[in-house]
Amino acid sequence: MNNEIIIEYLKEFVSSNRFSLFKRIVEERTRYVSVLIENVYQSHNASAIIRTCEALGIQDLYVFERKNSFSPNDEIALGGDKWINIFKYNEQNHSFKTLINDLKKKKYRIIATSLQPESKSIYDLDLKKGKTIFLFGTEISGLSEEAISLADESIKIPIFGFTESFNVSVSVGIILNYVANELRKQNIPYHLTKEEKDEILVSWLVQSIPYGSKILERFLKQHHLQKNINK
């Protein structure tokens, strides 16, 4: 209920067209499919992955850093990081296995992208089995052996030329574009709950309003409400 009250208040600080745009876009957001990238380091790839996730309605992007830091380029990402959740982990303070176990507790099926002979084609993946998170690896060597071993299944993109693999950001684009279309074609229930949508709307409104955080803080104090601002 608090989020509904907050949205009614904050929407008065943006144009009706902008608020209508937020409402339309949040209806197509999903957590039925998410992405985890492991050790991607080139800024143009990091940026392109963010941009692709946002454009295709993927709300959550998980980043696991090993030796490489995840450093997107704002000019390439085009502000995509403002509209999605990016959860960053580093092997110095969080094990990869723990992260995977946490995702499995959220009922995610873990799908590795790998060129292993036993990997099935992305086009043969049954998306109706439930929530899915796709794992993508570093530019040079792909996913680590640990990541592949912890996955429930592995998939690959069919290749018909001499080149043996795609650039990681291209792989993300091909797979997510296919998946986003299949979710809608197969009528899979990919939508967020009302509570999730309201939470995101509050975050988007706050980011769109000059001094939005301070305005929200003042409103909460005046009305004795509590709110954690999360995307």
How many domains would you assign to the chain? 2
CA atoms within 13 A on the CB side of 151: 23
CA 45 from chain centre, in angstroms, equals 15
CB 132 within 8 Å of CB 180: no
Structure tokens at 81: 């990081």
pLDDT in tens, 12-49: 999 999 999 999 999 999 999 999 999 886 888 888 99
Q: Between 116 and 32, whose confidence is greater?
A: 32
Decide if 227 is inside a domain: no
Range of the domain at 91: 30-185
Q: What is the DSSP string of 160-203?
A: -SS-----HHHHHHHHHHHHHHHHHHTT---BPPHHHHHHHHHH
Decide if 230 is inside a domain: no
Angle between helices 168-185 and 43-55 (to 10 degrees): 10
Decide if 123 is inside a domain: yes
pLDDT value, residue 229: 47
Domain shared by 76 and 152, yes or no: yes
**Model-level pTM?**
0.90
- pLDDT band at 231, cuts 50/70/90? very low
pLDDT in tens, 127-147: 999 999 999 998 778 899 999
